[in-house]
Amino acid sequence: MERVVATLEKGAQCCGWSHGGRRLAVGHADGAVSVHDSSDPSTRASARWMAHTCGVINVVWIPPEFGDAIACVCADGALSLWDEIGQDAQAVTWKMCKFFEGTGSQVLDVQFGVSLTTLRMVAAYSDGHVKVYESMDPLELNKWQLQAEFQNVIDSVSRFGKPSCVSASIAWSPCRGENQQSSFVLGYNSDLSQFNSPKIWEFEEAHQRWVPVAELALPGDKGDRVHAVAWALNIGRPYEVVAVATCKGIAIWHVGLNPESDGRLSTEKVALLAGHDGEVWQLDWDMSGMTLASTGADGMVRLWQSNLNGVWHEQAALECNGVQH
Amino acid sequence: MPGRASDPGNSLVPFSPEVRDPVVYPIRHGIKTPLFRVFVSWSHGNLLNVACLQASPPESNAAAGTAESEVNIGGKVVEVRLGDGDGEINEAQRRRIAYGSVPAFAMLQSRRNSLSMMSRMASSSFRNEWWRHVLEYSNQIKDLLGTPRLPSSSVIEDPKMVLQQIEEPTSLKVAWELMEIFYVDKQSSAWLPERLVDWLADYDCILAKTEPAIYSKLVNLQKKIVNIQVIEDDPEYWDGISSALAVGWLDVVVKLLRLHGSYQLDQLGNRETENGLVEAVAVLVSTMPRMRADVPTGKLGQCYKTKPDFVKAWEKWRGHITKLECSAFWVQCGHRQTREGLRNLLQIMLGNIKNLTTSTCHWMELYISHFLFIRPFSMGLEGMYSLAQKCMQLKPSSNSSGLIGVFMGILGGNTEVVLAECSKAFGPWMVAHAMELLMATDDHADILLHEERYNLGGISMEELYRLIYAQVLSSHPLTWQIAPTYLASCSKQGLGLLEVLLYRQSAHNYRVTLKNLEICRLYELENISECIMKIAGVYYWKHGRRGSGIHWLQQAHDEVRLNRIAQQLFDCIGKSISDDSFKQWEGLVELLGSEVGTAGGLEFLHKYRDFKRSLHLVHDKKAVDAARQTVESLVQLMRSPSTPRRFWLPLLHDSVHLLNWQGRPLLNVSETTLLLSKLQELSMAKLHPDFSDFDLPPQALATVRLALAKNLRQAILEES
């Protein structure tokens, strides 16, 4: 059922798979990044370079329409973008095409989305600010323009204190339709409750601004620290499905496709899945958007599905923390 | 702590309220625990990538007792394939079945489409027709699952070979056959009991693997009879015969009876009566009336197709048995075992439940014996279900294999249970294909499986199970290409999933890209096709295969990127106007063509290319025509608004020798004036900060001005 496909070097501390899942980028504690292409565990990484002077805490692949490129988030809050280029298939190198310095606040998470033909990058900062950048060049990733900056709060008028955020989690809506609005969901793990609850932000073309169109938390749970979010692919459902992991478990939300009269999207929490003993680390939906995989501090990978009656349950679990021989 | 289910809310289907504890699979990755972090990512279909990262051990521990190679390992990445189905069939066989079932499935779908197109046709006539198509489909699939039993092909039969060794059927095939019997084959529904008898003949050897069964009893007997002298003295002989009779393996019974010692020539005289009784029973066995269309070669019994004929024959046959039972010959039969053995056979044939129970091993065998000797007629599912339960009580079985689950689901008339059991025991292939059987004649199942459900995201169960199977196919590089056939049959979400599947394929492999595009063309997925071409174009462009890159981007009509490429070329030429560097780009300009690109840059590039080419042709002073043509290109370029100003001077400087042409001037007065005015503009612009004059010699402007002045003088003289 399982086979080992890669062996990682000592110091590996984060992983990111390319869109089709064939390439793996690994960030190391010493600031190095390696890329693995082979499925033979005895072969070495196909590329390895020093991306930063301190540890890489997150690697994210950029959508394939923009080449084979990754973003590296560094422990000191800096962010760098790397592009694979070559004169021919053999002489391939990874070139840094953009560096965002961690000035003041740190980048906690970064995710890329494509809207029409433009590549957009959302970066969540440790001070609760969200920055949306737009790539100015469809071929090179070296020119970026700050398109918007806002706080992850519904009420933009009130003044809040400055939160201290431990982590952030962003997921773009995976729709790729030409007319689809560009939107993403973002939740924080911070000490200020207003910032935590996951909000769906949508770009309003008419006013050229980002507006929160839904909040994925029940009134009593809005302050819950968010550990992970994942937006399921929608291959034809009449609603979107978003998973949100907080300390209370993994909530499955149904989100309406079209805004209601007040401009907000309808939301319904259809399940709260408790299973992980400890913090949830990561969520990932499969390609049909029907199975959710979660990992957590209990060393388990849990697979969740809805049955024919719409009841969500744990279908299977993979134990990674067991006794190894 | 096991996972807890969420609140069920309103149930649509009464089935499956129970949520089982999840199955926990240990992942063997070889990394020392505790782990620092686990990362997951879904790849194609049901492939899950799991990366297990090791927590950094304290330095002191790291050195002690750990191999150096292990110290340097920071984690392992494991690929987990989920939901592959049962372990009875190996991967290669599974792939063979997967590929083999595509034509049958596709044919059935296309028939359904054409029939339903025609039939706005009354649905009843659709039903009457439809099951025949499904039967044909079922037979094609059945052939895939294993070869049918064939009668012995050898001319001389070994009399002691009572049980033919056959290729063992798989439980998958047996389950398929079971569903065909109950759901599809309308024609033989009157002969259902006899079809179950045939079915058991296959199933019994599977049953024998895990539980005591008649098949294993006979296999043991077969081994023994070769070495036994006086077979009729052995209780196992009689036991074997009675068991074989109980489940209707009449040929085996008769063969075994004929091995009876009384048939031997030297015995015949002494044991006449005994032999007569054995033969009488053998004849009764072989003439047993059976309600079925025909009996396969080598099998025994007399066929009756209709119930009245059968009942008549059955009564008569039973009369013969009763008569023999009461005959006085038994007293004259001196061999106790033979006497008792034969009378036991008669009791079985008379349907004595006690004898049947003793002669059978498993409840399923007892169940089938009911249809042979107690109630040889079709009965309703309800009756069959309660009979099965009665048999189970008489012969409790510890093992409840998936097949039994399917069987009970069928008898219980519960489509969801049948599908759930199929899914549990045989995996997604079975469910996706067996649904067709379930819906062949059963309106209820048809409605149930086609009903669109909000809980499933607006799709029906039929579509759901097909999507699940397509996901399994997508998980493997050798089978993903057949997934589109199944996805195309899903009206709601199939093409959506197909798009995702295609989008996730690697664009790095040229053949895969072509295959993807072929699939896009077939299913008219233009958007995704353009997307694939864009991905390929950008990949090749960035990986040094610029020509391929441009080709794919052109195919994708990606004007944004093509214009950007044109811009890059333009900038590049702008930076260095030398002939060498231009040669490098000339091919790409050619490839970019003139159709694509609204940017002014591209138009200029084409004109510039033409100009450079004709400039090369003017290699000697005699090529007046070529020189004239080149000058025309130059004037055109200088006139064109798309020619950037920074190129004016290099263009003019390149053409100095044309301006200084010996003999007739190449430019007329107005042309020369135009160029001079452009030169004047340049002189003014030279004061502008962003003015760049490339790497031209400092006196370039003066040289050009002088040449133009000379040309103007000559032109004026010429024209006056």
**Quick check: B330 pLDDT over 50?**
yes
Residue among A3, A26, A85 minimizing CB distance to B79 = A3
Q: How far apart are CA B352 and CA B374, in angstroms?
A: 8
Q: What is the ipTM of this complex?
A: 0.96
Please name the residue that has the structure tokens 């609005």: A181
Tell me the mean pLDDT in the region B273-281. 91
A301 with B32: Cβ contact below 8 A? no
pLDDT reported for residue B688: 61
Q: Which residues of B246-269 are buried (b: 16+ CB within 10 A; e: fewer)?
A: bbbbbbbbbbbbebbbbbeeeeee
* Of A93, A89, A156, residue with least CA distance to A129: A156
pLDDT reported for residue B580: 60
Q: How far is A213 from chain B (nearest CA, A)?
A: 22
Residue among A10, A235, A315 minimizing CB distance to B496 = A235
Q: Which residues of B touch A135 (CB under 8 A)?
A: none
Tokens coding B53: 């990262």
B19 with A313: Cβ contact below 8 A? yes
Query: Any idea which fold A1-102 has?
Result: Lipocalin (2.40.128)
Contact status of B55 with chain A (Cβ, < 8 Å): no
pLDDT reported for residue B647: 78
SS3 state at B566: helix
| Mean pLDDT computed over every residue of chain B | 84
B146 secondary structure, DSSP code: -
Q: Is B180 exposed, middle or buried (0-12, 13-18, 19+ CB in 10 A)?
A: buried
B12 with A5: Cβ contact below 8 A? no
Residues 6+ apart with CB under 8 A from A145: A133, A134, A136
pLDDT reported for residue B269: 74
Q: Which residues of B352-370 are buried (b: 16+ CB within 10 A; e: fewer)?
A: beebbbbbbbbbbbbbbbb
Contact status of B79 with chain A (Cβ, < 8 Å): yes
Please name the residue that has the structure tokens 């033919």: B164
Q: How far apart are CA B356 and CA A137, in angstroms?
A: 83
pLDDT reported for residue B153: 46
A19 with B80: Cβ contact below 8 A? no
Q: How far apart are CA B113 and CA B104, in angstroms?
A: 14
Of the pLDDT bands very low, low, confident and very high (cuts 50, 70, 90), residue A81 is very high
B28 with A324: Cβ contact below 8 A? yes
SS3 state at A317: strand
**B 142-161 near A (Cβ less than 8 A):** none
Tokens coding B316: 């008569």
**B 9-48 near A (Cβ less than 8 A):** 9, 11-13, 15-17, 19, 22-48
pLDDT reported for residue B231: 87
pLDDT reported for residue B323: 94
Tell me if A190 sits within 8 A of A241, measured CB to CB: no
Contacts across the A-B interface (CB distance below 8 Å): 327
**Quick check: B108 pLDDT over 60?**
yes
pLDDT reported for residue A291: 95
**Quick check: B199 pLDDT over 70?**
yes
Tokens coding A11: 């110091």
How many residues would you count in chain B? 720
Q: Which residues of B touch A237 (CB under 8 A)?
A: 457-458, 493
B82 with A316: Cβ contact below 8 A? yes
Q: How far apart are CA B610 and CA B628, in angstroms?
A: 14
Please provide the distance, in angstroms rounded to a whole number, between the alpha carbons at the two ends of chain B.
Answer: 105
B6 with A316: Cβ contact below 8 A? no
- Strand runs labelled E in B14-128: 23-26, 35-42, 47-54, 73-81
Q: Which residue has the higher pLDDT, A225 or B227?
A: A225
Q: How far apart are CA B240 and CA B218, in angstroms?
A: 6
pLDDT reported for residue B121: 54
B5 with A6: Cβ contact below 8 A? no
Question: CA dihedral defined by B199, B204, B210, B212, rounded to 10 degrees?
Answer: 140
**B 562-581 near A (Cβ less than 8 A):** 564-565, 568
pLDDT reported for residue B640: 82
Q: Which residue has the higher pLDDT, B603 or A275?
A: A275
Tell me the mean pLDDT in the region B91-116. 91
Of the pLDDT bands very low, low, confident and very high (cuts 50, 70, 90), residue B11 is very low
Question: CA dihedral defined by B668, B670, B673, B677, rounded to 10 degrees?
Answer: -140
Domain ranges of chain A: 1-102, 108-325
How large is the greatest C-alpha to C-alpha distance in chain A, in angstroms?
A: 60
DSSP string computed for B671-697: HHHHHHHHHHHHHHHTTSTT---TT--
In percent, how much of chain A has pLDDT > 70?
Answer: 95
Tell me if A26 sits within 8 A of A45, measured CB to CB: yes
A313 with B32: Cβ contact below 8 A? no
pLDDT reported for residue B67: 57
Q: Which residue has the higher pLDDT, A283 or B661?
A: A283
Residue among A286, A294, A311 minimizing CB distance to B5 = A311
pLDDT reported for residue B660: 83
In percent, how much of chain B has pLDDT > 90?
Answer: 40
Q: Which residues of A touch B74 (CB under 8 A)?
A: 8-12, 28
Q: How far apart are CA B111 and CA B597, in angstroms?
A: 47
Tell me the mean pLDDT in the region A301-323. 89
pLDDT reported for residue B154: 45
**Quick check: A149 pLDDT over 50?**
yes
Q: Which residue has the higher pLDDT, B88 or B174?
A: B174
Contact status of A137 with chain B (Cβ, < 8 Å): yes
* Of A37, A288, A234, residue with least CA distance to B483: A288
Of the pLDDT bands very low, low, confident and very high (cuts 50, 70, 90), residue B460 is very high
Contact status of A5 with chain B (Cβ, < 8 Å): yes
Q: Which residues of A touch B6 (CB under 8 A)?
A: 252, 270-273, 311-313
SS3 state at A108: strand
Q: Is A263 exposed, middle or buried (0-12, 13-18, 19+ CB in 10 A)?
A: exposed
Range of lowest pLDDT (A88-102, A184-198, B90-104): A88-102
Of the pLDDT bands very low, low, confident and very high (cuts 50, 70, 90), residue A18 is very high
* Of B119, B178, B114, residue with least CA distance to B145: B178
pLDDT reported for residue B517: 95
**Quick check: B597 pLDDT over 50?**
no
**Quick check: B490 pLDDT over 70?**
yes
Class of domain A108-325: mainly beta
Q: How far is A42 from chain B (nearest CA, A)?
A: 11
Q: Which residues of B touch A304 (CB under 8 A)?
A: 3
Tokens coding A215: 């909040």
**Quick check: A15 pLDDT over 50?**
yes
Q: How open is the CA angle A264-A266-A272, to the nearest 5 degrees?
A: 130
Tokens coding B643: 């020619």
Range of lowest pLDDT (A238-252, B494-508, B574-588): B574-588
B16 with A325: Cβ contact below 8 A? no
Tokens coding A144: 């970026």
Residue among B1, B5, B71 minimizing CB distance to A277 = B1
Most confident of A214-228, B158-172, B262-276, B666-680: A214-228
Structure confidence by residue, pLDDT tens digits, B609-668: 778 778 877 766 667 888 888 888 888 888 887 777 777 888 888 888 888 887 788 888
Contact status of A235 with chain B (Cβ, < 8 Å): yes
A29 with B56: Cβ contact below 8 A? yes
Please name the residue that has the structure tokens 């610029």: B546
Tokens coding A131: 């920055």
Residue of B nearest to A324 (CA): B30
| Mean pLDDT computed over every residue of chain A | 91
A293 with B48: Cβ contact below 8 A? yes
Q: Which residue has the higher pLDDT, B531 or B650?
A: B531
Tokens coding B111: 């028939």
**B 515-534 near A (Cβ less than 8 A):** 527, 531, 534
Of the pLDDT bands very low, low, confident and very high (cuts 50, 70, 90), residue B5 is very low
Q: Which residue has the higher pLDDT, B15 or B715?
A: B715
Of the pLDDT bands very low, low, confident and very high (cuts 50, 70, 90), residue B320 is very high
* Of B252, B262, B186, B194, residue with least CA distance to B230: B262
Q: How far is B361 from chain A (nearest CA, A)?
A: 36
- Helices B546-555 and B559-575, packing angle to 10 deg: 150
**Quick check: B3 pLDDT over 50?**
no
DSSP string computed for B380-435: -HHHHHHHHHHHHHHS--S---HHHHHHHHHHTT-HHHHHHHHHHHHHHHHHHHHH
pLDDT reported for residue B578: 54
